[in-house]
Amino acid sequence: MEEKEGLLMYLPHELRQDFHYLSLRSSLLEEISLLYGRPLAAGDRIGRICRCRRLVRDFLAAWQCQPDQPEYPYLLGVLLERAGQLALTDQPGRAYDQAEQYYDRARKLLQRQPPGSYSRQQYLRPLLALLRLSLRRRQEERFYAWWDHCGGLRRFHRDVQALFQVRWLIVKEDYDRAAFQLRDLHGLAGRKSAFSPVRARILSDIVTAALHGPGAALKGTYGPYVRQVLWDVLFPEKRDK
pLDDT score, position 42: 62
Which of 153-158's residues contact partners 24+ apart within 8 Å by CB, and which partners? 155/124, 155/127, 156/124, 156/127, 156/128, 157/189, 157/190, 157/193, 157/194, 158/188, 158/189, 158/190, 158/193
Min mean pLDDT across 12-16, 86-90, 107-111, 135-139 is at: 12-16
- The pLDDT of residue 167 is 96
Nearest to 30 by CA among 96, 73, 81: 81
Work out the burial of residue 76: count CB atoms within 10 Å of its CB; fewer than 13 is exposed, 13-18 middle, 19 or more buried.
Answer: buried
CA angle 119/112/137 to nearest 5° reads: 75
Name the helix (H) or strand (E) containing 216: none
CB 75 within 8 Å of CB 57: no
Q: Which amino acid is at 62?
A: A
Return the higher-pLDDT residue of 208 and 116. 208
Cα 23 from Cα 48, distance rounded (Å): 10
- pTM for this entry: 0.88
Please report, rounded to a whole number, the percentage of residues in the chain having pLDDT higher than 90: 55
Mean pLDDT for 216-230 is 91
Write down the pLDDT at residue 184: 82
Question: Between 186 and 81, where is the model more confident?
Answer: 81
Q: Report the pLDDT averaged over residues 95-114.
A: 93
User: 10 pLDDT band (50/70/90 cuts)?
Assistant: low
Q: Which pLDDT score is estimated for 116? A: 76
Q: What is the pLDDT of residue 107?
A: 93
Among residues of the chain, what percentage have pLDDT more than 70? 93
Q: Measured between alpha carbons, how far is 83 from 72 in angstroms, rounded to an integer?
A: 16
pLDDT at 87: 87
Non-local CB neighbours of 86 within 8 Å, separated by 6+ positions: 22, 24, 39, 40, 41, 48
Q: How far apart are CA 213 and CA 170, in angstroms?
A: 15
* CA–centroid distance for 162 within its chain: 15
pLDDT at position 239: 62
Torsion sign over Cα 239, 231, 35, 32? positive
Judged against a pLDDT cut of 60, whether residue 130 lies above it is answered with yes
pLDDT tens digits for range 22-79: 888 789 999 999 999 888 766 778 889 999 999 999 999 989 999 999 999 999 999 9
- Amino acid letter for position 98: Q
